[in-house]
Structure 1
Amino acid sequence: MSQALTQDAGGDDDEELGLPALPSGARNYMSPAGYARLRAELFSLIDDERPKVVEIVHWAASNGDRSENGDYLYGKKRLREIDRRIRFLTKRLEIAEVVDPTVHHGSDQVYFGATVSYVEDSGTERTVTILGIDEADSLLGQVTWVSPIARTLLKSREGDELKLVTPAGVLNIEVLRVTYPTQA
């Protein structure tokens, strides 16, 4: 049996890539912008990047001895990485449930897609945007809808005082503002 067939046979793509797994039975909520971004990445891999790598591998294979051919070995490795990412994106997009946060514009209650400002007991004010698992970027103040802070904030309203359970203990927080993007 070929080595390629035995390597790919078992593992789950999520675990191999170290990406966040969806909670069992949970939906894969995603904003329209997040869905479009993942879809664009998928088509870019399929239409642009993969064909270029296949061409390089084909050229390198025609040069002869593949065991010491760096272009061939690297190209095959990169091709596996691209194929793994394509499978991952395809699976995630198939089960995605696109939720448009603009429908809640003007509401003071926290739902998926909300940008929430809250203050901790210490006086520290923080702002987070609640997004999907595949699109949230913590460096931009975005959190996944399954994170502890998002789960605490969901369904609350401006002015609500909540208890956030953290590894360091329980924090008291107060919701200051809830905003949603406007329709384009």
Structure 2
Amino acid sequence: MRFFELIPVVYRLIAGRMLLASVFGAAFALAWHLQAWRYTARLEHQAAVQMDALNQHSQAALRRQQAEQEKRLVLERQLSASDQQHARELSDAQRDQGRLRDRLATADVRLSVLLDAAAPASGCALRATAPSGSVVHGTQRAGLDPAHAQRIIGITDSGDNGLIALRACQAYVRAIAR
């Protein structure tokens, strides 16, 4: 008699089923680990691809940001130069206006207006010849009171300042429009 035949049939069936279950369990565990390795490798590959894409996007964003910063710096330099030019023009105009006011105050220069020689109320006749050093015939002029001259200079000062500011604004708009 053999040893295997001495074991009752029920225990043999249980042992066979246990052996079959352990073989299937080992195959299942091996397949599980193989699938886990494959899945992990796929996830690592996807993570690497995504990391490369994010790196490229961040590089592109950095380049765009640097380009915008360069544009901003160029614009700031242009605006600074424009502002300096505007300040220089304004100070030159104010200095010239101050000199003119000083010359008017010291009676070094007098403002005058041309009189209309043909007007009947003026009573001035046209001269036949031009005075020496002049090519204009009959230039009759009337001097202005220094107080009125100062007011006129004040008005022209405001106008000059306005024109200088207008030119600066137009230059600023042109710089931004570019």
TM-score in terms of structure 1 length: 0.24
Per residue, is there more helix in 1 or in 2? 2
Larger Rg: 2
Per residue, is there more strand in 1 or in 2? 1
